[in-house]
Amino acid sequence: MSVTLELLEDQDWEGLRQRLDVLANYARAPMPNARVFNSVALPILNNTFTDLTFDSERWDVGSMHSVAANTHLLTAPITGLYKVGASVEWAANVNGPRQLLLIEGVGGTAIDYINEMAMTDGSPTRQSLETTWRFAKGDSVRVRVYQLSGGALNINAVPSYSAEFWMVRLGGYNNEGVQ
């Protein structure tokens, strides 16, 4: 016991208290997260990659999205590990493939995608994907779609499902306490 007390007496108590206060405030802060959607059907040209835009927010904790500018982006407000995802419903059409991609950054690398043929029974084609990715503060992600039906085809506006896009910070990484 006396060894422990001697070690504690040599510590910088004020510095330790300040660091603990910072950690406690960080632990109480809400994790940045957003879910956005488009309230109207979006026409997608044939044989053209198209970034989806999102005109409405279900919520946005951390100012990750704007309905005024760059409505196609969700942006990480702090460095960390994030879960990102999207879901869409294509208008009924039996021809060709449909692709849904998550693209990192402006020039961007695909960080996840799904490629499926259209439903052949005349029903809408539904696609959803979700992945986990490391983002630095200020990094962004967007949703890109592609279809090859032979003509323009809508992404339907379906409440709570299409077109939806989300991003949730799960925690830090590497030097932020998670290895």
CA-closest candidate to residue 167, choices 41, 76, 93: 76
Could you tell me the pLDDT band of residue 67, with boundaries at 50, 70 and 90?
Answer: very high
pLDDT tens-digit map of 20-54: 666 665 555 678 999 999 999 999 999 999 999 99
Q: Could you tell me what percent of the chain has a pLDDT over 90?
A: 73
pLDDT tens-digit map of 111-153: 999 999 999 998 999 999 999 999 999 999 999 999 999 999 9
Contacts of 120 (CB under 8 A, 6+ apart): 94
Average pLDDT score, the chain: 87
* Whole-structure pTM value: 0.80
Q: How far is CA 6 from CA 10, 20, 58, in A?
A: 7, 21, 54
What the chain holds in terms of domains, given with CATH numbers, is: 31-174 (2.60.120.40)
CA angle 31-33-34, nearest 5°?
A: 165
